[in-house]
Amino acid sequence: MNRNRIAHIALLPAVLMLAACHKDSARKAESPRPSILFVTLDTTRADAVGPEARGIETPSFNALAARGRRFRWAYATVPQTLPSHTSMLTGLYPAGHGVHENARHVAENQLLISERLHNAGYRTAAFVSSFALARRFGLARGFDIYDDELPGGRPERTARETTDRVIEFLRTPAKQPLFLWVHFYDPHYPYTPPEPFRSRYPKQPYYGEVAAMDEQLGRLAAAFQQQVKGPVAIVLVGDHGEGLGEHGEQQHGDLLYQATMHVPLVMIGPRVHPGVGDAPVSTRRIFHTILDWAGIDTANSLLREEGEVAVGEAMKPFLDYGWQPQVMAVDGTRKAILAGKLEVYDVASDPNEMHDLAAGASLSRQARAALQEYPIPSMDAQQSASNLSDEEHRKLAALGYVSSVAKPVVRPDAPRPADMAPMFPILDEAARLFVQEQYAKAIPLLEQILGRDPNNLDAALRLATSHSALGHEQAAFAAYRRAEVIAPNSADVRTYMALHYARTAEWPKAVPMLERIVAETPDKVPALEALALLRERQGQIEEAMRLRQKVYTLRSPTPAELSRLGEMQMALGQTAPAIDSFEKARALEGASFKHDTELGVLYLASQRFEDARLALDRVRPNDPSYPMALFKRAQVSVLLHEPDASARIAAARTHADATTRELISRERLFRQQ
List of residues contacting Zn ion (CB under 5 A): 42, 81, 239
Question: Of all residues in this chain, which one has the CB nearest to Zn ion in the complex?
Answer: 81
CB of 465 to Zn ion, least distance (A): 29
Beta carbons of 491 and 517 less than 8 angstroms apart? yes
| Helix (H) or strand (E) run with residue 180 in it | strand 178-184
- Which CB sits closer to Zn ion, 42 or 458? 42
Q: Which of 96, 85, 99 is nearest to 43 (CA)?
A: 85
Amino acid at 267: M
| Burial class for 604, CB neighbours closer than 10 Å (0-12, 13-18, 19+) | buried
Partnered with residue 267 across adjacent β-strands are 69, 235
CB of 139 to Zn ion, least distance (A): 13
- Which CB sits closer to Zn ion, 42 or 611? 42
- Which CB sits closer to Zn ion, 215 or 239? 239
Amino acid at 596: D
**Secondary structure (DSSP) of 270-323:** TT---EEE-S-EEGGGHHHHHHHHTTS--TT-TTT-----EEEEE-HHHHHH--
- Which CB sits closer to Zn ion, 101 or 239? 239
CB of 81 to Zn ion, least distance (A): 3
Amino acid at 107: A
- Which CB sits closer to Zn ion, 239 or 561? 239
- Could you tell me which residues come within 8 angstroms of residue 436 by beta carbon, excluding any fewer than 6 positions away? 394, 397
CB of 243 to Zn ion, least distance (A): 13
- Which CB sits closer to Zn ion, 81 or 563? 81
CB of 44 to Zn ion, least distance (A): 9
CB of 36 to Zn ion, least distance (A): 21
- Which CB sits closer to Zn ion, 81 or 597? 81
CB of 102 to Zn ion, least distance (A): 8
CB of 326 to Zn ion, least distance (A): 18
Beta carbons of 295 and 27 less than 8 angstroms apart? yes
- Which CB sits closer to Zn ion, 242 or 453? 242
Q: Count how many Cα atoms sit within 13 Å of the Cα of residue 77 in the half-sphere of its side chain.
A: 28
CB of 132 to Zn ion, least distance (A): 7
Q: How far apart are CA 49 and CA 567, in angstroms?
A: 54
- Which CB sits closer to Zn ion, 320 or 453? 320
DSSP3 helix / strand / coil % (the chain, rounded to 5): 55, 10, 35
CA torsion through residues 373, 377, 378, 381, sign: positive
Partnered with residue 37 across adjacent β-strands are 180, 234
C-alpha dist (Å) from residue 448 to 430, 452, 607: 10, 7, 62
